């Protein structure tokens, strides 16, 4: 006996009914609460999840008994009601109950055309959504008898059975169809992608339709009390007079409120309008949310059909949450939990106006959010020239390299043909807050011809205007309308509340004084990662840097480094002053030296001239420094040990800047971080030299200062040996980008070629450069943290790098007992909110 | 009271004395045993370690009392006696006791010149080794009174004190000097490098000198019963007639045995010779070792002065050990423990004859042992041409790439300017058994001019004859004399004994049937790693491979793969037949595709012609496939998942070869290994496809066969997730090369630039590509093994790669419960012996 014969449950909504989102869905719960507060909701019956699941399994409720609750002449609608509004569900079906008998009655009371239209609408919906027939067969929509008969014929030919004339049977088929649609594979995947569990249920609501056909004011509308774009208090929505169930009778869209452009409901029927506003306000307060009300007017009487969470832009979401809390309708924690952290990043950047049209050139990976427009340039030099002329430009490259950083600074946006979410271009662009799209697989960049060939074959050239949408990951032709950023008072209020509740520190990665200013503006609690070498890419420094690289003796190298020293000192002094005593963690020089050398013949020729050396010398040096796998080569602490003068100079610059900043009133305890460590002896050697530089500076300047020394844990070995390493350090900061590369054996610059395939096939649940790999990389973090803390209980632990701002990473770090996360300045607001939400949702274990 | 006043211990050697290597040193123990068996050893007093240590600390034995044991006129010598002969010690000092008084006596009895010479010799030794004066002051060595007086004057001027005339004081100073030399830093480092513990002690022996000045047969010599080069039974050594204490009196070197080239001791004094042989034989049997005897003859009477382990080449060491065991003098385990495993690899290759002279061009890293000579070539093409002409050549490159493999096959030896112990050139050369030197930092290779510039500035060109010494790591000018390899009967006997006792399997890495033949010849128990892609570098296959790479559609790719299928199948059939049913583990295609494409313009032009495509097409494809970090890019299982047709073809080739080999009587259960895994789903996806290929082949061929599927653990993540991965596999084989690269974040091809500095500074105790990093990589091995076995108790565990043959790695794998290690064929004999020694020295825990 596979099917249970017990009576399937359903409930009429009444002020006293017990309807929960967990059993009947959020929509049923909303409606039930509207009824409880006395709003005029038509008769509604709610089918709980268990009933709908039984229907999908082949059982059926007593539909005749349900229809009997509505009276014999009623038409009904069925709406989906899942546990969470984001999980979707089948669309609403209207006009259930239309038959030839009802047709005849409508024809008699309202005329044949209205009767035809109502019946045709129902047949079309039923055929397409219940009988699953080809929509092409049911296209015509005029109110003629001919069209109606043609639709019925089409139905009967396809189904080989007449159109059902029993309302109870119609309702049963509709319920079965909606119940099964919920169980379909695509619906299931879609909602699981939005976080729904496997066993997520669907409720269904059968509601009596309001016949807006009476002699007085009739119509149908939707309204909310806020502007969906800005979130400010303003009645918005629409009202269609004399319409019924989607079939316009007397075409007449009215404004809701008084409007110079035309008639409004407010003018035409102030009493009704007042009732509507009262209903909306009541639901706002009782449901503790800005709601969008669906309503119908029948002969001047208001009926509330449905209420859903009012749609809103990210900016509006912030304002609504803050306002509701300020008005005492919700608590501050509620307000914090109602804004999606990711949405905040939209508020930091210009965005493409959603109302405009989009002429897409190609699609890639959304690498850095926001929109920008400008003329195409293909080189950093052209970008700088364009910037000098005051013309916005978009830098288009196959990929970017460190030598492009100046060009990126000069550009408004960046597009690369290759690369993934953590490629060089993507990382730098996020740091700069520059809209960026990478991995444009359907676009070809030809640097020789200076052309971009679009997916559809169109060719764009230098100087052509384009728009980069780094939020969506698309590149558009021409200049489209942009919306400005929105870091307003509400934004700041919400984040101040977030800071009150979060329980993990948030720092920013900032490589230059400009970055530091931005980080401070976003209220970062310090700088977690200052990549000191980024300061060397300025034109004048690059030359000195190259002289240093070409030095053949220690003393020549020192001469070049002595010229870099005051520049570095000035950088650090600037950062210390900007950060006003907040901690600044400076990572010592990290990249391989060849990143500072030109890679093409022209660049080498120029360099030879600049250095006054034979070209062959330059070529030989460039070749000698080139590496098979630069990621795994002579960089980081390896350089610091083989050419210790570099770190000596940097340590001196840091200490002298500390003294200088102290004199200017910005006392700071700088943090010095050693990159790419794989053995404790590396730390020991560097530590000894840094200590002696500190002693020398203290002595020379007659000033005392403290500093903290730490290690960037980027190699699996450093994580495994953290116990030994921690004995020499005050802090460990996990560089999850490189650690991910090494744990997977996966170069982030080369992964783009197969990452999409890998994610599609489920080999990786997500790009591990985007979402921290908790199982593998995460275990190394836990091992490192545990061993480090065991050896050194006061050890400060953190992560820096691309993962730092992600909710998942923040939660991981909270649970692992880390002190802070560090992310790019533009991620700081997101991280502050995400951390607050995590603290509200689950207490910290350690 | 810092100095103890208790009497310092010493002992005269007698037949009943209790002298142990642990207290008095090996030399004292040997001598004491020679006395016990009745050999005529002069009076000897042994000072134990404790006494010598007290002397170094400032105390002194009663030297007058010691000298009294020898009689008033005796001269004495002092010899060092450390616990282990390999740990060194200060040199022997002779003629102690020479004073003006003894000089006068000698002048009276033997003439002034003899007296002068004896005294001068002692003054020189004493001044240089005891008083530590500048040796230049004591250069003259004629027997004149003038020279003697000059030496005494020089001593007195430097020391501002007369030369000591009290023999007891002379002896005390000698003992103090030798005791302190042992405690010196350089001596300590030297012996610790050879495995001596911090607290290793030194014993000293004071022996009465035999005055070989009498009227009858007098002289001094050394002899052993074996040939030090071959180890065969033959009396060898030398005898200097009428000499005394290093001062030749009547110049006359005699052969020991009858010799057509001149007079011999055997002819001149057959009785004495017989005594000498008897003494040597007795010491051989009693000391259970081939000994080198130092002896003196005084007026026809034999005196045995000292006996040390006879010096021996590696070949001789094997023969001696086997012979002693076969004669029942030592046990087979003793024989196994007496041969240094590393020494065996010398026996597999030609070696440079140590007796020849060496004109060194430069020095580098000894990357693959053995010596070879030939004419310089600078390209693989030239190597193949030279090979075709039947002329031996040495391939000289800045570094090698996979496209050089054919050239390496054609060359007799390989030299590269760059690279470390596990660079491409080094790995391939070891696999091929080709002498190879890499990382020649003091040599410049200019491929454009086709020159090699030596450390001293000499320029060598294509066609010049050179010799590579891959055992020493040097390159020599010209063709020097070579010794042939020596895998003789003794070698095979010793290894057969090793196989009886070892408790871990030894397989070989073999990529081609030729390699497999070598592996089988070295008695490998199977193939642990067959890098299947190495088969694609043959000229005809390379073209098809490139067609496959250039295929734009799946069907085009399949057409190319269908052409590769029969070639691969033939390769595998060949290997299965050669290995005669032993397991063969085939690693699926691993390298990035760009390794198969040309990198220079000429190569691309040729390829364009071969493929009949425009050059621009070829350039674009090469560029598109190029990677920033090939080691971390699109290779291994990533290729297998994105282009699954490649693995399909390989699986089919393996299964068809299995059926074919079975028909030919070589039934085999092939092992298929998936490379570069980082996630279990990779294994799941590949496994599913391989299973369906197996089903198809079983069906098509109507034959049943088994196979085993496994994973090469090369990424830290695969080790961490071994528990999940093991659920899909029968075996895990740890690829320690790549695992080391990723654990350290260190490319083996780029590490050469700083590895020397790192090892010198003690950052790494050893190059981790050469010696397994037990702390970091080793922990990942243990984690992987433990989690894998927990999930799958029958899991076969192994390591393959460069570390496989090292004693330390074998011991690590034994203790970790691994089933086998796999190494290059030429390392198999070394590994077999090393494993046997480990089994003898310590029982296996698991």
Q: What is the 3-state secondary structure (H, E, C) of B413-465?
A: EEEECCCCCCCHHHHHHHHHCCCEEECCCCCEEECCCCEEECCCCCEEECCCE
For B745, the closest of A641, A742, A776 (CB atoms) is: A742
CB A713 within 8 A of CB A732: yes
Residue A630 at interface with chain B, using a CB cutoff of 8 Å: yes
Residue A13 has pLDDT above 90, yes or no: yes
Q: What are the catalytic residues of A? A: 424, 800
pLDDT-above-70 percentage for chain B: 98
Q: What is the DSSP letter of A527?
A: E
A762: closest chain B residue by CA: B681
Return the biggest CA–CA distance within chain B: 105
Q: pLDDT-derived band of residue B245, with 50, 70 and 90 as boundaries? A: very low
Query: Please, which contacts does A687-694 make with residues 24 or more away whose CB atoms are closer than 8 Å?
Result: A687/A728, A689/A644, A689/A647, A689/A648, A689/A651, A690/A647, A690/A651, A693/A648, A693/A651, A693/A652, A693/A655, A694/A651, A694/A655
The Cα of B423 is separated from the nearest Cα of chain A by a number of Å equal to 11
Q: What is the mean pLDDT of residues A372-394?
A: 91
pTM score > 0.95 for this model?
Answer: no
Interface test mutation site (partner B, options A416, A683, A714, A717, max chain B beta carbons within 10 A): A717
pLDDT for A697 equals 97
Least confident of A1-10, A477-486, A631-640: A1-10
**pLDDT tens digit sequence for A153-171:** 999 999 999 999 999 999 9
Return the biggest CA–CA distance within chain A: 106
- E strands of A134-257, at which residues? 202-208, 219-226, 233-241, 243-244, 247-248, 253-254
**pLDDT tens digit sequence for A542-588:** 888 999 999 888 999 999 999 999 999 999 999 999 999 999 999 99
Residue A92 at interface with chain B, using a CB cutoff of 8 Å: no
For B776, the closest of A628, A720, A776 (CB atoms) is: A720
CB A203 within 8 A of CB A54: no
Give the count of Cβ contacts less than 8 A between chain A and B: 164
Q: What is d(CA A212, CA A705) in angstroms, rounded to the nearest whole number?
A: 80
Residue B841 has pLDDT above 80, yes or no: yes
The Cα of A678 is separated from the nearest Cα of chain B by a number of Å equal to 6
Q: What is the mean pLDDT of residues B225-237?
A: 90
Average predicted confidence (pLDDT) for chain B: 90
Residue B717 at interface with chain A, using a CB cutoff of 8 Å: yes
**pLDDT tens digit sequence for A75-107:** 999 999 999 988 988 999 999 999 999 999 989
- Helix, strand or coil for residue B522? coil
Considering only residues A492 and A265, tell me which one the structure prediction assigns the higher pLDDT.
Answer: A492
Q: What is d(CA A722, CA A710) in angstroms, rounded to the nearest whole number?
A: 11
Least confident of A504-513, B606-615, B634-643, B783-792: B606-615
Q: What is the DSSP letter of A433?
A: T
Q: What is d(CA A142, CA A121) in angstroms, rounded to the nearest whole number?
A: 10
Task: For residue A129, give Cα distances in angstroms to A179, A181, A486, B295.
Answer: 12, 9, 42, 112
Residue B826 at interface with chain A, using a CB cutoff of 8 Å: no
Active-site option among B129, B424, B594, B803: B424
CB A630 within 8 A of CB A594: yes
pLDDT-above-90 percentage for chain B: 63
CB–CB of B720 and A761 under 8 A?
no
Residue A720 at interface with chain B, using a CB cutoff of 8 Å: yes
pLDDT for A252 equals 61
The Cα of A439 is separated from the nearest Cα of chain B by a number of Å equal to 13
For A744, the closest of B630, B715, B753 (CB atoms) is: B715
pLDDT for B845 equals 59
The Cα of A743 is separated from the nearest Cα of chain B by a number of Å equal to 5
- Helix, strand or coil for residue B239? strand
The Cα of A236 is separated from the nearest Cα of chain B by a number of Å equal to 50
What residues in B contact A627, CB-CB < 8 Å?
747, 749-750
Burial B570-598 (b: 16+ CB within 10 A, else e): bbbbbbbbbbeebbbbbbbbbbbbbbbbb
Q: What is the mean pLDDT of residues A57-74?
A: 91
pLDDT for B62 equals 93
Residue B787 at interface with chain A, using a CB cutoff of 8 Å: no
pLDDT for B32 equals 94
Residue B385 has pLDDT above 70, yes or no: yes
Q: pLDDT-derived band of residue A603, with 50, 70 and 90 as boundaries? A: confident
**pLDDT tens digit sequence for B117-135:** 889 999 999 999 999 998 8
pLDDT for A845 equals 59
pLDDT for A24 equals 94
Q: pLDDT-derived band of residue A788, with 50, 70 and 90 as boundaries? A: very high
CB–CB of B746 and A775 under 8 A?
no
CB–CB of B720 and A743 under 8 A?
yes
Q: pLDDT-derived band of residue A781, with 50, 70 and 90 as boundaries? A: very high
pLDDT for B572 equals 95
**pLDDT tens digit sequence for B483-492:** 878 788 999 9
For B634, the closest of A753, A761, A777 (CB atoms) is: A753
The Cα of A773 is separated from the nearest Cα of chain B by a number of Å equal to 10
Residue B392 at interface with chain A, using a CB cutoff of 8 Å: no
Q: What is d(CA A231, CA B184) in angstroms, rounded to the nearest whole number?
A: 83
For B632, the closest of A631, A634, A721 (CB atoms) is: A631
Burial A578-616 (b: 16+ CB within 10 A, else e): bbeebbbbbbbbbbbbbbbbbeeeeebeebbeebeeeee
Residue A244 has pLDDT above 70, yes or no: no
Residue B253 has pLDDT above 70, yes or no: no
Annotated catalytic residue B103: no
pLDDT for A624 equals 84
CB B581 within 8 A of CB B667: yes
For A757, the closest of B627, B631, B642 (CB atoms) is: B642
Residue A829 at interface with chain B, using a CB cutoff of 8 Å: no
Residue A704 has pLDDT above 60, yes or no: yes
Residue B211 has pLDDT above 90, yes or no: no
Annotated catalytic residue B534: no
């Amino acid at each position: 006996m596979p099917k249970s014969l017990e009576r399937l449950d359903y409930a009429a909504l009444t002020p006293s009914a017990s309807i929960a989102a967990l059993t009947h869905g959020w929509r049923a719960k909303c409606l039930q609460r509207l009824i409880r507060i006395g709003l005029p909701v038509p008769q509604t019956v709610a089918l709980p999840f268990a009933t709908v699941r039984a229907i999908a399994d082949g059982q059926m409720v007593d539909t005749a008994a349900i229809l009997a609750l509505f009276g014999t002449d009623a038409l009904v609608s069925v709406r989906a009601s899942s546990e969470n509004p984001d999980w979707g569900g089948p669309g609403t079906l209207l006009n259930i109950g239309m038959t030839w008998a009802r047709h005849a009655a409508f024809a008699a009371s309202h005329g044949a055309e209205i009767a035809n239209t109502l019946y045709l609408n129902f047949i079309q919906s039923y055929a397409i959504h219940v009988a699953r027939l080809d929509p092409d067969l049911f296209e015509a929509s005029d109110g003629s008898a001919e069209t109606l008969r043609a639709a019925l014929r089409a139905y009967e030919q396809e189904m080989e059975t007449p159109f059902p004339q029993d309302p109870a049977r119609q309702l049963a088929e509709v319920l079965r169809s909606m119940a099964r649609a919920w169980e379909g594979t695509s619906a299931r995947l879609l909602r699981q992608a939005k976080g729904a569990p496997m066993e997520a249920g669907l409720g269904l609501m059968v509601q009596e339709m309001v016949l807006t056909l009476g002699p007085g004011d009739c119509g149908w509308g939707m309204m909310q009390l806020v502007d969906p774009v800005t979130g400010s208090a303003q009645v918005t929505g629409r009202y269609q007079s004399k319409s019924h169930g989607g079939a316009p009778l007397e075409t007449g869209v009215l404004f809701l409120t008084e409007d110079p452009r035309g008639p409004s409901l407010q003018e035409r029927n102030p009493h009704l309008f007042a009732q509507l506003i009262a209903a909306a306000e009541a639901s706002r307060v009782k449901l503790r949310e800005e709601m969008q009300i669906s309503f119908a007017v029948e002969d001047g009487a208001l009926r509330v059909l449905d209420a859903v969470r009012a749609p809103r832009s990210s900016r509006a979401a912030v304002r609504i949450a803050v306002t509701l809390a300020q008005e005492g309708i919700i608590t501050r924690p509620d307000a914090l939990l109602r804004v999606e952290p990711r949405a905040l990043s939209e508020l930091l950047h210009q965005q493409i106006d959603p109302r405009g049209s989009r002429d897409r050139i190609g699609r890639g990976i959304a690498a850095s959010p926001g929109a920008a427009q400008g003329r195409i340039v293909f080189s950093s030099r052209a970008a700088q020239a364009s910037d000098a002329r005051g013309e916005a430009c978009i830098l288009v490259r196959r990929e970017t390299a460190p030598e492009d950083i100046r060009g990126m600074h000069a550009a408004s946006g960046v597009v690369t043909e290759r690369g993934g979410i953590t490629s060089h271009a993507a990382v730098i662009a996020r740091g700069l807050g520059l809209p960026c799209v990478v991995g444009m697989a359907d676009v070809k960049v030809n640097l020789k011809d200076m052309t971009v060939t679009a997916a559809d074959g169109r060719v764009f050239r230098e100087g052509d205007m384009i728009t980069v949408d780094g939020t969506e990951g698309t590149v558009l032709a021409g200049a489209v309308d942009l919306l400005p950023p929105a870091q307003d008072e509400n934004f700041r209020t919400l984040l101040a509340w977030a800071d009150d509740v979060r329980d993990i520190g948030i720092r920013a990665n900032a490589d230059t004084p400009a970055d530091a200013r931005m980080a401070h503006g976003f209220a970062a609690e310090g700088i977690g990662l200052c990549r000191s070498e980024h300061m060397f890419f300025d034109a004048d420094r690059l030359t000195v840097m190259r002289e240093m690289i070409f030095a053949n003796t220690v003393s020549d190298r020192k001469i070049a480094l002595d010229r870099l020293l005051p520049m570095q000192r000035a950088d650090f002094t600037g950062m210390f002053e900007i950060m006003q005593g907040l901690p600044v963690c400076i990572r010592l020089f990290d990249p391989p030296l060849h990143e500072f050398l030109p890679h093409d013949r022209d660049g080498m020729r120029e360099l030879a001239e600049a250095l006054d050396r034979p070209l062959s010398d330059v070529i030989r040096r460039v070749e000698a420094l080139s590496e098979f796998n630069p990621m795994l080569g002579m960089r980081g602490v390896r350089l610091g040990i083989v050419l210790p003068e570099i770190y000596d100079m940097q340590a001196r610059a840091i200490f002298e800047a500390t003294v200088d900043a102290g004199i200017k009133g910005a006392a700071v305890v700088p943090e010095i971080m050693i990159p790419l460590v794989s053995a404790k002896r590396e730390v020991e050697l560097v530590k000894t030299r840094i200590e002696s530089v500190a002693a020398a500076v203290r002595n020379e300047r007659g000033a005392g200062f403290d500093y903290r020394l730490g290690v960037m844990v980027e190699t699996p070995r450093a994580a495994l040996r953290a116990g030994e390493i921690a004995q020499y350090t005050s802090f460990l900061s996990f560089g999850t980008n490189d650690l991910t590369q090494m744990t997977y054996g996966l170069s982030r610059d080369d992964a783009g070629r197969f990452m999409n395939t890998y994610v599609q096939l489920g080999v990786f649940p997500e790009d591990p450069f985007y979402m921290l790999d908790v199982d593998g990389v995460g275990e190394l973090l836990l091992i490192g943290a545990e061993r480090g803390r065991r050896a050194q209980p006061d050890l400060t632990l953190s992560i820096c790098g691309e993962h730092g701002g992600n909710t998942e990473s923040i939660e991981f770090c909270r649970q692992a007992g880390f002190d802070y996360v560090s992310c790019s300045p533009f991620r700081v607001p997101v991280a502050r909110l995400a951390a607050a939400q995590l603290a509200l949702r689950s207490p910290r274990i350690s």
